[in-house]
Chain A
């Protein structure tokens, strides 16, 4: 008598296990064969562009409208491209995954070129110089140079190139006998800045452009020194999408030649970067 419920539940759990096992095999079918759309297909259905919504000054939303450096370039692209442009605005979390799975054709955002990302994505010509700097509270007298950062808590965006290249800062600190302190990861930078203001982190690492804009707006912060070597952000397309990459590179080259690129850089970053490389091979 007591055996029945036991065997019943055994049968059920065996079935459950089998189903879960089957699901495991079905998964690759769902996530595999991501297919990048060629230019011909894009001409038919339009170019699907993904941008961020909280990454001032590159892309952000003001009065309900997308604006910033990249969004102005998208406006230019809309005028000159021989196809329709459909824009999706979403948080950073889903952007690169969406491009590598073919959900979006291109991420028009400041995605820093890294070795790891190059395995699944292709990058256009760099759109700015994004060497990493640290920012601190202006009234925090304990930090005045790189070596003072030893052991201090740092805030950085999760899944970002800035996080991936923190070991570079670690190496700099170790030269003086120091070490990298605790690392706190945020989903986006506004939270990190807020925590810096509240004193929960001692410094935040981001690109020089983002930090300059921040400090111009919030003088309670102060930009420190560079904590990385050369670093460039660019737009990202799927790995095998050479046609689209060539098209976008040509667009960027045209914008650079006409002086429009420098004009937009001055407007949004406060300075132009005239000697950006056409292609960049990352070391990290």
Chain B
């Protein structure tokens, strides 16, 4: 394995991290939105969201991706591999995020919400100041769990030609007929990426504990 091979795997790492980050950053708020729609029981829309979430959770990511990639051009929507990959990641992770957010919302004490109402807070204020800080705390472990799963599911994006860490490693193995060394490099790259994510979670949790102690 040459130096340029290792550079190729690092290039794959940039793709893995970028696509995961985009998927997480778009999927997180969409998941929250979906959970709020279900929580508030918005007529008709809540039913559609329920159906969306159950269908997306029942569809393997690779199948969804191939379907989007090959079917969308047929109805006149041209889509390139990267957009198809992001779309599939977001659709998939938002469905799972929705359920994590919803579990926190379902356990949210109703009396707090009513107390906020009685002191005259508006709906937006109630959500920002009372609900959101508390559900973020409860949802965080579940959300980070889903994020780390998302990072590790990115190799399936290779079916449409996205070259992530694993695909870069496979390509090198196919050229040198020595698949093991590049795979070892690949494995060694996933660990720090997920570790960075978990450290971020710990940091947020510590800050919350400190803020609570100060209050």
Which residues of A are at the interface with B, using a C-beta cutoff of 8 A?
12, 15-16, 19, 29-34, 53-56, 60-64, 88-91, 93-94, 97-98, 101-103, 188-191, 193-194, 214, 217-218
Contacts and interface: CB of A to CB of B under 8 A. Distances in A.
Given A56-B174, A90-B158, 18 more contacts: A16-B54, A30-B75, A31-B70, A34-B74, A60-B171, A60-B175, A61-B174, A64-B4, A64-B11, A89-B161, A90-B81, A94-B66, A94-B159, A101-B74, A190-B173, A190-B174, A194-B179, A194-B180
Q: Which of B2, B69, B158, B161 has the most CB of A within 10 A?
A: B161
Contacts of B81: 88, 90
B180 to A, nearest CB: 8
Contacts of B7: 64
B43 to A, nearest CB: 13
Contact of B73 (A61, A89, A102, A214): A102
Interface of B: 2, 4-5, 7-8, 11, 47, 50-51, 54, 66-67, 69-71, 73-75, 81, 158-161, 163, 167, 170-177, 179-180
A90 B159 CA distance: 7
A101 B73 contact: yes
8 contacts: A15-B47, A16-B51, A60-B174, A61-B8, A89-B161, A94-B159, A190-B179, A193-B177
Contact of A55 (B5, B71, B174): B174
A157 B158 CA distance: 17
Contacts, number: 96
B137 to A, nearest CB: 31
Nearest to A214: B177
Contacts of A193: 177
B171 A53 contact: yes
A137 B45 CA distance: 61
A91 B175 contact: no
B69 to A, nearest CB: 7
A229 B66 CA distance: 34
Contacts of A89: 161, 163
Contacts of B159: 90-91, 93-94
B174 A33 contact: no
Nearest to B66: A94
A194 B176 CA distance: 12
Nearest to B51: A19
A224 to B, nearest CB: 18
Contact of A218 (B11, B67, B177): B177
Nearest to B161: A90
Nearest to B180: A194
Contacts of A61: 8, 171-172, 174-175
Contacts of B11: 64
A97 B183 CA distance: 28
